């Protein structure tokens, strides 16, 4: 059977077999199961768009920004059941995407089974997009899930009915607009699988029609968006492509590919492209193309932003990077001397896992911190509804990815404590609020002690701004 064959999906194909799912689940759980310990915790914009809001509010906000009518239909139904449903589904759906990738890779002869295993393992635990922990990010999760499901169905089946299902899933995934650009890869993959017989029109009318539909699909989405769900005036610049951002994204692609090609030529000492070099270069293409939409939209103002560790919830802009990262690492693994490959494999898995474990434990402590902060607010007698609170956080080691608490988040925590204050802000100074009071949040615990005891040792040091200004004129 040639590699251009595409068989109808059946039970006889032993779907998802041949992969070390036990090892993958252990590594994946160590990396991403932390939110399941505190599944009802809200982060960042959850406090704005979900907390104390009516059921339909989230979907309405997304519709106003120019996202399709189905953007948060599933989200709002799950939220009505309970906040916990979204973390559990997020955990399951990202893992399922790895299973879909395994089936996708089985339709190419570029990788051996062992190499495909390496790619899928890294794909599952690449330490990016920790922002998936926020409930408002579930739309990214569903887009990710449906995109890789659609890709798998597209190249694993000749059934016309399955093709229609894959088109539906792709179209659903486009609600996260970066997938409109990344859609080039499954389309190219499908065309590649059909390559041998495309010129025989009389025998391949159906395949040619399918290719035409695939090429037309993003255009149809953009056309419908323009006429049916355009953003309101307030959000007219939301997801708008900037010329400067697109130029920067294009430069990143060119520079990335040039450096990758140079690395390959140096390591191979040959102008002939070996399969390992193709894997590495393909990874570079996947990685840089996955970043391009976020450069074009100015979500990444510079290249440094891509690699920033303390990036609050900006890691959501790395949504499409795991596939590229996994291919780049696999290509590197194949390019280095054979005697070093086992160590490289171990180090790559260990580094990804350890970064995720640290970040996951931070988010776990962040969830505990929110609960303990509510208790601290409730017990504090210095809170005065007539005095502005100036909140200073000196315990950011307990905040996920070094994030900063927003005013809306702090106000909501104060509300949950049953206390009142005119304003609570995480920004500003006593010079700006001379009649306010400075609440400095401190801890008598280090990170490890807080993690093992689940007690963060939080306390406030409270000083009227007038006293601070007097002592520090």
Instruction: Give residue-wise pLDDT tens across range 112-141.
Output: 889 999 999 999 999 999 999 999 999 999
* CA distances for 358 relative to 127, 130, 363, 391, angstroms: 10, 11, 9, 26
Q: What is the pLDDT of residue 363?
A: 94
198 and 312 co-located in one domain:
yes
396 and 321 co-located in one domain:
no
291 and 436 co-located in one domain:
no
Domain span at residue 323? 15-358
- Residue 161 corresponds to which tokens in the numbers above? 């009915």
Residue 122 lies in a domain: yes
- Distance linking the first and last C-alpha atoms of the chain: 82
* CA distances for 295 relative to 66, 137, 363, angstroms: 19, 19, 27
354 and 292 co-located in one domain:
yes
Q: What is the pLDDT of residue 5?
A: 39
32 and 120 co-located in one domain:
yes
198 phi and psi angles, rounded to 5 deg: -65, -30
Residue 3 lies in a domain: no
Residue 4 lies in a domain: no
204 and 123 co-located in one domain:
yes
Say which range, 21-35, 219-233, 281-295, 421-435, has the weakest mean pLDDT: 421-435
Distance CA 216, CA 82 (A): 38
Q: Last residue of a domain, which of 320, 341, 358?
A: 358
Residue 7 lies in a domain: no
pLDDT exceeds cutoff 80 at 257 = no
Average pLDDT over residues 74-85: 92
Q: Last residue of a domain, which of 304, 330, 358?
A: 358
- Residue 215 corresponds to which tokens in the numbers above? 């090429």
pLDDT band at 229 (very low <50, low <70, confident <90, very high): confident
Q: What is the pLDDT of residues 393-438, one digit of tens each?
A: 899 899 988 888 888 888 899 899 888 776 677 667 778 778 888 8
Partnered with residue 440 across adjacent β-strands are: 392, 461
pLDDT band at 6 (very low <50, low <70, confident <90, very high): very low
Place of tokens 């990444």: 300
Q: What is the pLDDT of residue 9?
A: 36
Residue 6 lies in a domain: no
Q: What is the pLDDT of residue 427?
A: 67
304 and 453 co-located in one domain:
no
Decide which of 267 and 325 is more confident: 325
45 and 149 co-located in one domain:
yes
Say which range, 91-100, 415-424, 449-458, has the weakest mean pLDDT: 415-424
Highest-pLDDT range among 10-24, 129-143, 229-243, 298-312: 129-143
Average pLDDT over residues 253-278: 68
* CA distances for 173 relative to 70, 140, 276, angstroms: 11, 8, 31
Distance CA 170, CA 180 (A): 9
Q: What is the pLDDT of residue 203?
A: 62
pLDDT exceeds cutoff 90 at 335 = no
Residue 8 lies in a domain: no
Residue 71 lies in a domain: yes
Count of domains for the chain = 2
Q: What is the pLDDT of residue 200?
A: 65
345 and 263 co-located in one domain:
yes
Percent of the chain with pLDDT strictly greater than 90: 43
pLDDT exceeds cutoff 80 at 300 = no
Residue 462, helix vs strand vs coil: strand
344 and 438 co-located in one domain:
no
Q: What is the pTM of this model?
A: 0.88
348 and 377 co-located in one domain:
no
Average pLDDT of every residue of the chain: 85
Q: What is the pLDDT of residue 201?
A: 58
Say which range, 23-37, 204-218, 346-360, has the weakest mean pLDDT: 204-218
Q: What is the pLDDT of residues 168-221, one digit of tens each?
A: 999 999 999 999 999 999 999 998 888 766 666 556 788 888 889 999 999 999
Distance CA 116, CA 326 (A): 10
pLDDT band at 238 (very low <50, low <70, confident <90, very high): confident
What length does the chain have?
473
pLDDT exceeds cutoff 60 at 13 = no
Q: What is the pLDDT of residue 12?
A: 38
Residue 413, helix vs strand vs coil: helix
Residue 298 lies in a domain: yes
- Residue 203 corresponds to which tokens in the numbers above? 């025998």
382 and 243 co-located in one domain:
no
pLDDT exceeds cutoff 60 at 271 = no
Q: Last residue of a domain, which of 335, 358, 381?
A: 358
Q: What is the pLDDT of residues 42-65, one digit of tens each?
A: 998 899 999 988 888 888 888 888
pLDDT exceeds cutoff 60 at 277 = yes
Q: At what angle do helices 243-268 and 275-296 cross, to 10 degrees?
A: 170
312 class by beta-carbon count within 10 Å (0-12 exposed, 13-18 middle, 19+ buried) = middle
Average pLDDT over residues 66-83: 88
Angle formed at CA 288 by CA 286 and CA 291, multiple of 5 degrees? 105
């Amino acid at each position: 059977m040639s590699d251009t064959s595409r068989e109808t999906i059946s039970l006889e194909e032993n779907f998802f077999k041949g992969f070390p799912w036990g090892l993958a689940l252990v590594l994946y759980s160590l990396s991403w199961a932390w939110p399941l310990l505190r599944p009802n915790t809200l982060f960042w914009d959850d406090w704005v768009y979900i907390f104390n809001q009516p059921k339909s509010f989230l979907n309405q906000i997304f519709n106003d920004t120019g996202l399709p009518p189905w953007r948060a239909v599933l989200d709002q139904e799950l939220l009505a059941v309970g906040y916990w449903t979204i973390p559990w589904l997020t955990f399951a759906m990202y893992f399922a995407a790895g299973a879909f990738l395994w089936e996708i890779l089985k339709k190419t002869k570029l990788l051996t089974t062992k190499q495909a295993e390496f790619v899928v393992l890294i794909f599952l635990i690449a330490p990016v997009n920790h922002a998936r922990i926020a409930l408002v990010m579930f739309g990214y999760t569903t887009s990710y899930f449906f995109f890789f499901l659609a890709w798998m169905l597209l190249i694993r089946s000749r059934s016309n009915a399955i093709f229609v299902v894959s088109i539906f899933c792709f179209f659903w995934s486009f609600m996260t607009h970066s997938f409109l650009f990344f859609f080039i890869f499954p389309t190219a993959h499908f065309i590649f699988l059909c390559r041998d017989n495309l010129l025989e029109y009389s025998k391949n009318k159906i395949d040619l029609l399918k290719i035409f539909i695939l090429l037309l699909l993003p255009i149809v989405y953009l056309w419908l968006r323009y006429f049916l769900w355009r953003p309101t005036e307030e959000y007219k610049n939301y997801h708008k492509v900037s010329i400067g951002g697109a130029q920067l994204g294009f430069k990143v692609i060119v520079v990335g590919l040039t450096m990758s090609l140079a690395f390959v030529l140096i390591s191979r000492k040959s102008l002939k492209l070996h399969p390992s070099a193709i894997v590495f270069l393909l990874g570079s293409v996947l990685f840089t193309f996955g970043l391009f939409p976020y450069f074009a939209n100015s979500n990444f103002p510079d290249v440094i932003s891509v690699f920033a560790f303390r990036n609050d919830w900006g890691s959501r802009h790395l949504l499409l990077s795991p596939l590229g990262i996994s291919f780049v690492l696999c290509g590197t693994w194949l390019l280095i001397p054979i005697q070093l490959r086992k160590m490289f494999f171990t180090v790559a898995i260990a580094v990804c896992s350890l970064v995720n474990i640290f970040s996951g434990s931070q988010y776990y402590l962040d969830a505990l911190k929110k609960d303990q902060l509510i208790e601290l607010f409730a017990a504090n007698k210095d809170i005065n509804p007539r005095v502005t609170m100036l909140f200073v956080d000196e315990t950011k080691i307990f905040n996920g990815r070094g994030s900063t608490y927003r005013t809306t988040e702090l106000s909501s925590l104060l509300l949950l404590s049953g206390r009142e204050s005119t304003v609570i802000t995480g920004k500003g100074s006593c010079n700006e609020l001379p009649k306010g009071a400075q609440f400095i949040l401190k801890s008598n615990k280090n990170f490890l002690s807080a993690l093992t005891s689940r007690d963060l040792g939080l306390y406030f040091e409270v000083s009227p701004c007038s006293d601070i200004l007097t002592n520090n004129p």
